Structure 1
Amino acid sequence: MGETDKDDLISIIEEEDPETNIPTTLPMMPVRDVVIFTDMLLPLFVGREKSVNAIEEAIGKDRYLFVATQVDPNIENPKAEEIYRIGTVSRILRMLKLPDGRVKALVQGIAKAKISKYLRKRSLFRVKIEIIEEPESSVVDLEAEALMRNVREYSEKILTLRGEYTNEVGSILSSIDDPGRLADLVASNLRLKIDEAQTIIEIIDPIQRLKKVNDLLFREVELSAMQAKIQSEVKDEISKSQKDYFLREQVRAIHRELGELDERTQEIEEYKAKIKRARMPQEAKAEAEKQLRRLEQMHPDSAEASVVRTYLDWMVELPWKKSTTDVIDMKKAKAVLDADHYGLEKIKDRILEYLSVRKLNPDTKGPILCFVGPPGVGKTSLGRAIANAMKRKFVRISLGGIRDEAEIRGHRRTYIGALPGRIIQGLKQAGSNNPVFMMDEIDKLGADFRGDPSSALLEALDPEQNGEFSDHYLNLSFDLSKVMFILTANISDTIPSALLDRMEVINLSGYTEEEKKIIAQTHLVPRQVKENGIKPRQIRFSEGAVLQVIREYTCEAGLRNLERELGSLCRKIARRIAEGEKGPFQVTRQSLEKYLGPPKYYPELDKEESQVGLSTGLAWTQVGGEVLYVEASIINGKGEMILTGQLGEVMQESARAAMSYARFNIGEFGVKDEIFENRDIHIHVPAGAIPKDGPSAGIAMATALISALTGRAVNKDVAMTGEITLRGRVLPIGGLKEKALGALRAGITTVIIPEKNKPDLVEIPRNVKRKITFIPVKNMDQVIDIALEPAPPKKAPKAKKKAAIRKKS
C-alpha cells in the first residue's frame, strides 16, 4: 500500500461517522481464525463462495458487513449453529478481486452486535442484528483508573519484551480514557486463542472486559518474560537447525494453504505404500504400521523421528518374500564348477548332490557346509561357483577378529547409531531371502566382555531353528531357512563344538604338483598376463618353467604364492615391453633365475645322503602338510634327555615315550644298557623359532633315537608319521592326505603310516599313490626294519668320522 493509499484511508476514517445509519439487516461473513473487535482495522483474504457473495452484496449497498467467528475453524461450510452469535459490524474500506477468484478486503470494526435471526442461508448468510450498546460511565472511578494504568503498563512490558514498543505506541495507549475501547484495542493486539477472544467480545460491561484483558495480559507478561529468559540463555542465536525448522514450517503452511501435500504427509504416504509392497509377515507388518503411527505424531526434526525412519527403512527394504528362482541344470552346474576349479572332486560331488536334492525337492532346508582347509585352496571361490551354478545372489562376510555379539544379532534400537547384524545386512544387500551366504574365517571368531559371537551364530546356523531368527534391532523373526550358508576355516579345532555340530565339514587338503601345474597353465598365467597388460602372443611359459616355479619358488598347499611369483614374472616382462623391447618373450627353466632370483626352497637339501640320527617325519599345519626333520645325538653326560626346537607338551611326551621304548628294548638293538649312564640323549627338531606340537612325530623320534644308538643310518627316501606307545605300538593320526602332499613336495618316495590309517588312503589322489609307496605298520619293529639301513661294516666308523671332518671343513 503506497503513501497515497494511506492518506486516502485516513481521510475516509476521519470523515465518516461509522456508527450512524447502520442497517438492521446485513450480509454476514463467517471468519475462521480471527475475532474482529471494534475499531480494529484488518485485511482479509476471502475465498469461500458464500463469503465472496456477502462482500459483493455489502459493496453494492452501503459497505456494511456483519463479521462473526465460526466455532471450528476447520469446517469449510459452517452451519448457523456453528457460528458465534455475537460479532462485529464492519465497514469495507477497500476491496480487490484477485485473478484466482478470491477477494482481498480491508475492513474496520464499527460496532458490536448480536445475530437475532438468520434471514438467508443458501447462497450467502443474511442476518437480522441487534446493536449492543455499552453502558456509559461519565466518571471513571479509582478502581477503573488503576485497572487502566495496570493494563497500559502490562502492554508496554509485552511490547518491550517483543522489541515492538515505540513512543508513538505509548502515546496511543495513554490517550485512550475509555475502559471499553482500551480493552478492545489491547485484546485485538494480543495473541489470543479464538475462544478467549470471543469470550472478551461477549463481555458487555467495559470494566469487566478490562479485568478479563488484565488477567490475560498478566499471563502473557509471564510467558514473554520466560521466553525472553530462555532466549537470553541461548545468547539470542538461532542455530541452523532452527532456521531450517522455521523455513520448513513456513513451506508446509504454504502447501496447506495451496491445498497441496507437504513433505511430511508425502513421506507418510510413501511409507504406507512401501509397507504394502514389502509383503511382510503379519507380525512385521503390524510393527511397521505401529512405528509409522508414532512417526506421524512426532516432530519431524526430533532425534526419535530419525530413529523411527531408519527402522522403517530397514523394514521396507528387507526381502521378506523376495526370492530368486533356482535354475538347476546339473550338466551346466558341473561345467561351471569344473571351469572355475580344477580337482577338488569330493567337494564338487557334495555340491552337485545338494543341487540334485534341491532340484527334486525345492522346499528342502538349506544345508550348513563348512569348508576347512589351508589358505589359497579356493574355499571362498567355491561359494561363488555354487551361487553361479544356481543363479543365486552371493553374499560374503568375514568373521575374522569379530568379538562383539551385536555384529551378528544387531544392536537394540535404544543405542545411538544402532543397526541390524551382519546377517540381516547381507540379506538386504542381496535383495533376496535365499542367497548363498558365505561366512569366512569362522575359526577366528573371538569373545570378550561384549559377548560371544559364536554363540549368537548357533541359532542362525541351525536348520531346525533359523526359520525364526531373531535380530535385536528388528526385534522380529526373520526366516533364514531358505539361505544356503557356507562357512570357511583353516582349522576346525578352534570352532566351538556346539557350532561345529551344526555344520557338515568338508576338508580341502590342497593341490598336488600336477594339479598346480594345470591350474597355473589354465587359470593363473592367463589372468596375470591380462592384469599386467601383456598380450598373450608377447609371452610364453614353458612347462618346465612352471614346474620349477612350483617346486623351487613356492612351498604351500594352496596357490596364492604361486600366483604372486607368476605375477612377478609378468611384471618383469611388462617392464621390458614398456621400455621398447619387442617380443615374444620365452620364460624357460634357464631364464627363470634371471627373473625371480635364486630358488627359495630346496626340497632335497637334506636328502643328499642317509644319515645316522636323522629321520624324516610328517607334520600337519594350517597351510598344509610339511616334512619335519628329527635329529638325535648321543653326547657325554649323566644320562639326561635334552629336548630343543620349541616343542609342545604333547610332543615332549612323545619324545619321552620313544626314549622309554628304546631303553626297554635296548638289548634287541645290540646296544648295552650302560650307555645311558654316562651319556645324554639330545633330540632336536630344526626350525626352532616355529612352535611344534602333536603326537604324530612319535615314531620319527624313536627312529632317530634308535639310529643314533645303533649307528644305523635312516633311509633318506623314507618319511613316517604315527604316534608311539611305551610298548612300541603305532597309533593312528589325522591329516594323512595333507601330510602325503607335503611328502610329495619334498621328494619322498616311501611313507610309513599306521595300520589303522589304511582306510584313509582312499582319499589320496591316484597320481600321488603312483609316486609314493605307503607302508602300513602296526609296531616299531616294522618301522625299524623299513626305515633303518643295514649296520655298517666294522671300518665304517672311521670312514664316517673322516666324512664328518670333510663336511665340517
Structure 2
Amino acid sequence: MLVPEVFPNVPLIAVSRNPVFPRFIKIIEVMVMMMMVMMMMGRLFGMTSEMLHEQRKLDPGTLNSPQRESKHPDLQKQFSSALSHAGGSRRSDGGMFSDCVSPQALTAEIVKTIRDIIALNPLYRESVLQMMQAGQRVVDNPIYLSDMGAALTGAESRELQDVLEETNIPKRLYKALSLLKKEYELSKLQQRLGREVEEKIKQTHRKYLLQEQLKIIKKELGLEKDDKEAIEDKFRERLKDRNVPEHIMEVINEELNKLGLLDNHSSEFNVTRNYLDWLTSIPWGTNSQENLSLDRAKEVLEEDHYGMDDVKKRILEFIAVSQLRGSTQGKILCFYGPPGVGKTSIARSIARALNRQYFRFSVGGMTDVAEIKGHRRTYVGAMPGKMIQCLKKTKTENPLVLIDEVDKIGRGYQGDPSSALLELLDPEQNSNFLDHYLDVPVDLSKVLFICTANVTHTIPEPLRDRMEMINVSGYVAQEKLAIAERYLVPQLRTLCGLTEEKASISSDALSLLIRQYCRESGVRNLQKQIEKVFRKVAFHIVSGAQDSVAVAPDNLSDYVGKPVFTVDRMYDVTPPGVVMGLAWTALGGSTLFIETSLRRPLGGADTKGDGSLEVTGQLGEVMKESAKIASTFARAFLMAKEPENTFLTSSHLHLHVPEGATPKDGPSAGCTIVTALLSLATNRSVRQNVAMTGEVSLTGKILPVGGIKEKTIAARRAGVTCIVLPAENRKDFSDLPDYITEGLEVHFVDHYNQIYPIVFPQN
C-alpha cells in the first residue's frame, strides 16, 4: 500500500460527532464564506485526500457538500495559516503500518460477523454495497475491511477514533471485530424485542378482531345489544316501578333520544349519560313505610337517650299528627344547646323511631353554594348538591336529614350557603326544589329536616324564622350519673374488651368524677374520662398486675389523675361588695361573682359629687353599659334609702368580674351589679348562698333574661339555696323538672325594691 511521503499544507474542516471512515460519504454543511468560495473554485480540496462529489447551494450562506474520505491522512504538525499554500513537510517514519502477521482469521471472523449483522438487519446491506462500488475488493484489504466493519457499527466516537488511529493491522482488525460483535449482540437483542412486541401486537389485534366479530355475531342473533341500547334499557329499567312525574319523564325521554345520536367517545356523551344516571337514580314516588306507633317510638327514644323530654315530646306529637292525617309530612326542627348533650345522636334515634332513612351532612365552615344547590352541568366534574345525593343514597323521598352546625355556616366569594338553605328549609318552596345540576324541580316536602346549633344568635334571622327551635339544655349531676350508669359505662366497658366481673365503677366514684372532673353541660368529657379509666384497667389486667378492678372514690385519682375542680365556688362566704351572679355560655350555665372595691375617696382636686366607676374583666359593650345603668340606679336608690350616705357619689370605685381571660357580655348581670354596689356602700354582706340574674332598667325594673335552666343548674352545682329571677321568667322556671328545682328558694321580682329586702334581711 503506497502512502505519499509529502503532504501539502491544506485548510482543515472539523467533522463533528463520529469520524469519517475512508470510502464512506459524509455530508458537510459549510457556512464560512471564504471556504465556500474556495470550494466552489475547486481550490480547497484540489490537492488533498478528499474527493468532492457534489456541491449544492441551500439557504443563503450555506453550502451542502457530500465528501468521501479516500485515504488515511497522517499530518505531522499544525499550520499557522489555514489558507497558506507555501512549504511542505515530510512524514516521519514512526507512523508506518506494521506488518500483518496473521490477519486471515480476524478477516474471516469480521466477514462472518458482517454477514450475520446483515442477516439480522437488512439496512446494513446498503452501507456494504456502497463500499463495494469503489471498484476494489474490500475483503482483500484488511485496512478497508476494518474501516468498513467499524463504520457499520453504532459505537461511540471515542471507540471509532481509536480504530482510525490504530496502525497495527491485527490490533486494528481486532478492535473492529470487537465493535462488530457488540453490534451483533445489540442487533440480536433488538430483533428479539421486536419479535416480542410484534407478537403482543398480533395477540392484541387478534383479540380485538375476535371481540368485534363476537359482538357482531351476538347482535345478529339478538343475544346482545350495542352500548347505547344497553344504557337506555338500564335507565328505563330503573324507572319501571317508579311514579315519575310527567314533566320529568319528558326530560328523560329527550335526553335518551339525544344520547342515541351522540358518538360513544364524545365528551357530550359522557355528560348526558351521567345526567341521566342521576336523574333516574332519584326515588320518584318511593317512600319508606313510616312507624306511626307512639309506644314503639317512645320505646326507641327512651332506649337510646336519657332526658331530653322536649325533643321526645315533639317527635311523639309529630307521629300523632301523622296518624290522624293518615299521611306523613315534612318538618323543619332545630335543636340548639351546648356541645355534648346529644343533639346529633338523638337525630339518628329519631330516624330509627320513625323508621325513616337517615342522612347527615355538616354545613360548618361551608362557603360554597354548590354544596347545597349543585354545580351547573357545563363545568367539568359537575355533580348535584347534597340533597340530591341524599335522595340517591337513601332511595326514599321521605328520609330524615340532619343538617349539622347551622350556626357555623360560612360565607365566601362563591356565595352564601345560608341563603341557599332558605329555599331548602322553606315548606312553601321545597316542594319544587331546583338543583342546578338536574335543572328540574324535585319534591322535598316529605323530608324531615333536623338542624343542630350551639347558639342561635349567629343563625341568620330569615333562616331561624323557618325552623322550629327546640332547646336542648345541659345536664345536672343527677342526669349525668344516670346517663353514665345506663349508657356510657356498659358501652365503654364492652369497647375496651372488659366484662362486668373484671371492671366496675361505683356510683360514688362516678359522682366524684362528675363533680371534680366533668362539670361541663354535656357528657362528652365524661365519656372520655370513663374510657380513660377502662383503658388503664385493661392495662393492669393484661400486664398481670390485677385480675379484676373495682374503681371507688378512694382510688379514682389513680386512673384519672388529680381533680380539676377542687372547690365549688370562689367565695364560701361573700364579703361586702361581692355578689354571686348567674351567666349563660355556649357550654351551659355558670356562676360568676361581681366584685366591687373602693379605689380612693374624692380628693381636693376632685369636684364634689364627681365619683367614678372603673370596670375590668374583659367585659363587652353591653355589659359595660349595664354597669353604668346599675351605677346610676344604685346612686338614686341609696339616696332615697339612706340620704346621708354619699359613698357612691363621693368615691372612685372599681368593679371587676373574675376570670379576666374569658370574654363576658350581656345585660343579665344588672341587678347583681346594683346589689354589689349597695353592699359596698352600706358595708353589709349579702345573704349567703344567694344568686341572682336579671336586667335592670334605669328606673329599677327587672327585665327577663334567657338561659334559666342552665343558670339554675349552675346555681345548684355551686350549692346555692336561694335564687332571684325576673318575674317574667316564671314560665321558664315552671317547665324545669322537679329534681332541678327541688330544695331551691326562688323569688320572682319585677322591681329592684323587691330584691333589697331579700338580699339584705333586717335580722
The question of a shared fold, defined as TM-score above 0.5 by the shorter chain, is answered with: yes
In the alignment, is residue 738 of structure 1 matched against residue 702 of structure 2?
Answer: no
| Partner of residue 655, structure 1 | 627
In the alignment, is residue 255 of structure 1 matched against residue 215 of structure 2?
Answer: yes
In the alignment, is residue 709 of structure 1 matched against residue 681 of structure 2?
Answer: yes
| Partner of residue 305, structure 2 | 341
Paired with 1:569 and 1:465, the residues of 2 have a C-alpha distance of 51
> Is 1:332–1:389's contact at 8 Å kept on the other side of the alignment?
yes
In the alignment, is residue 723 of structure 1 matched against residue 695 of structure 2?
Answer: yes
- Determine helix, strand or coil for the equivalent of 1:771: coil
> Is 2:330–2:445's contact at 8 Å kept on the other side of the alignment?
yes
| Partner of residue 244, structure 2 | 280
| Partner of residue 641, structure 1 | 613
Give TM-score scaled by structure 2 length: 0.69
Structure 1 residues 438, 409: CA separation in 2 closer, same or farther (over 3 Å shift)?
same
Instruction: Output the amino acid matched with 1:721.
Output: T
> Is 1:666–1:672's contact at 8 Å kept on the other side of the alignment?
no
Aligned counterpart in structure 2 of residue 409 of structure 1, from 373, 378, 383? 373
Aligned counterpart in structure 2 of residue 327 of structure 1, from 291, 294, 308? 291
> Is 1:245–1:301's contact at 8 Å kept on the other side of the alignment?
no
> Is 1:634–1:709's contact at 8 Å kept on the other side of the alignment?
no
Instruction: Output the amino acid matched with 1:652.
Output: K
| Partner of residue 442, structure 2 | 478
Deviating more after overlay: 354-363 vs 430-439: 354-363
Task: Give the CA RMSD over aligned residues.
Answer: 2.4
In the alignment, is residue 418 of structure 1 matched against residue 382 of structure 2?
Answer: yes
Deviation at 1:247, TM superposition (A): 9.3
> Is 1:646–1:691's contact at 8 Å kept on the other side of the alignment?
yes
1:178-193 maps to which residues of 2 (within 5 A)? none
Paired with 1:336 and 1:613, the residues of 2 have a C-alpha distance of 52
Deviation at 1:510, TM superposition (A): 1.8
Paired with 1:418 and 1:728, the residues of 2 have a C-alpha distance of 61
> Is 1:365–1:463's contact at 8 Å kept on the other side of the alignment?
no
Structure 1 residues 699, 246: CA separation in 2 closer, same or farther (over 3 Å shift)?
farther
- Determine helix, strand or coil for the equivalent of 1:451: coil
| Partner of residue 118, structure 2 | none
Q: Which string of whole-angstrom CA distances, capped at 9 and with x for unpartnered residues, describes residues 249-284 of structure 1?
A: 995576236525333443333233334455422222
Paired with 2:581 and 2:644, the residues of 1 have a C-alpha distance of 27
> Is 2:639–2:646's contact at 8 Å kept on the other side of the alignment?
no
Aligned counterpart in structure 2 of residue 692 of structure 1, from 644, 661, 664? 664
Q: Which runs of 5+ in 1 are unaligned?
A: 1-243, 792-809
Deviation at 1:472, TM superposition (A): 0.9
- Determine helix, strand or coil for the equivalent of 1:474: coil
- Determine helix, strand or coil for the equivalent of 1:328: coil
In the alignment, is residue 269 of structure 1 matched against residue 233 of structure 2?
Answer: yes
Aligned counterpart in structure 1 of residue 276 of structure 2, from 281, 293, 312? 312
1:6-25 maps to which residues of 2 (within 5 A)? none
Aligned counterpart in structure 2 of residue 777 of structure 1, from 744, 749, 757? 749
Deviation at 1:771, TM superposition (A): 2.9
Give TM-score scaled by structure 1 length: 0.65
Q: Which string of whole-angstrom CA distances, capped at 9 and with x for unpartnered residues, describes residues 681-738 of structure 1?
A: 1111111111111110111111111111211113341110000112222111111111
Deviation at 1:392, TM superposition (A): 1.4
Instruction: Output the amino acid matched with 1:304.
Output: E
Structure 1 residues 246, 468: CA separation in 2 closer, same or farther (over 3 Å shift)?
farther
Deviation at 1:300, TM superposition (A): 1.5
> Is 1:469–1:477's contact at 8 Å kept on the other side of the alignment?
yes
> Is 1:607–1:717's contact at 8 Å kept on the other side of the alignment?
no
- Determine helix, strand or coil for the equivalent of 1:397: strand
| Partner of residue 47, structure 1 | none
Structure 1 residues 790, 285: CA separation in 2 closer, same or farther (over 3 Å shift)?
same
Paired with 2:229 and 2:429, the residues of 1 have a C-alpha distance of 41
Deviating more after overlay: 568-577 vs 451-460: 451-460
Paired with 1:402 and 1:248, the residues of 2 have a C-alpha distance of 49
Q: Which string of whole-angstrom CA distances, capped at 9 and with x for unpartnered residues, describes residues 770-808 of structure 1?
A: 1322111222233232224669xxxxxxxxxxxxxxxxx
| Partner of residue 679, structure 1 | 651
- Determine helix, strand or coil for the equivalent of 1:536: coil
Deviation at 1:564, TM superposition (A): 1.0
| Partner of residue 604, structure 1 | 568
1:19-168 maps to which residues of 2 (within 5 A)? none
Aligned counterpart in structure 2 of residue 451 of structure 1, from 389, 392, 415? 415
Paired with 2:489 and 2:419, the residues of 1 have a C-alpha distance of 43
- Determine helix, strand or coil for the equivalent of 2:742: helix
Q: Which string of whole-angstrom CA distances, capped at 9 and with x for unpartnered residues, describes residues 380-428 of structure 1?
A: 1221111111211111111111111111111111111111111111121
Aligned counterpart in structure 1 of residue 738 of structure 2, from 759, 763, 766? 766
Structure 1 residues 603, 772: CA separation in 2 closer, same or farther (over 3 Å shift)?
farther
Deviation at 1:360, TM superposition (A): 2.1
1:213-612 maps to which residues of 2 (within 5 A)? 251-252=211-212, 255-256=215-216, 259=220, 260-612=224-576
Q: Which runs of 5+ in 2 are unaligned?
A: 1-203
Paired with 2:444 and 2:720, the residues of 1 have a C-alpha distance of 48
Structure 1 residues 521, 582: CA separation in 2 closer, same or farther (over 3 Å shift)?
same
Deviating more after overlay: 606-615 vs 729-738: 606-615
Q: Which string of whole-angstrom CA distances, capped at 9 and with x for unpartnered residues, describes residues 25-71 of structure 1?
A: xxxxxxxxxxxxxxxxxxxxxxxxxxxxxxxxxxxxxxxxxxxxxxx
| Partner of residue 639, structure 2 | 667
Instruction: Output the amino acid matched with 1:383.
Output: A
Paired with 1:338 and 1:252, the residues of 2 have a C-alpha distance of 63
Deviating more after overlay: 653-662 vs 584-593: 584-593
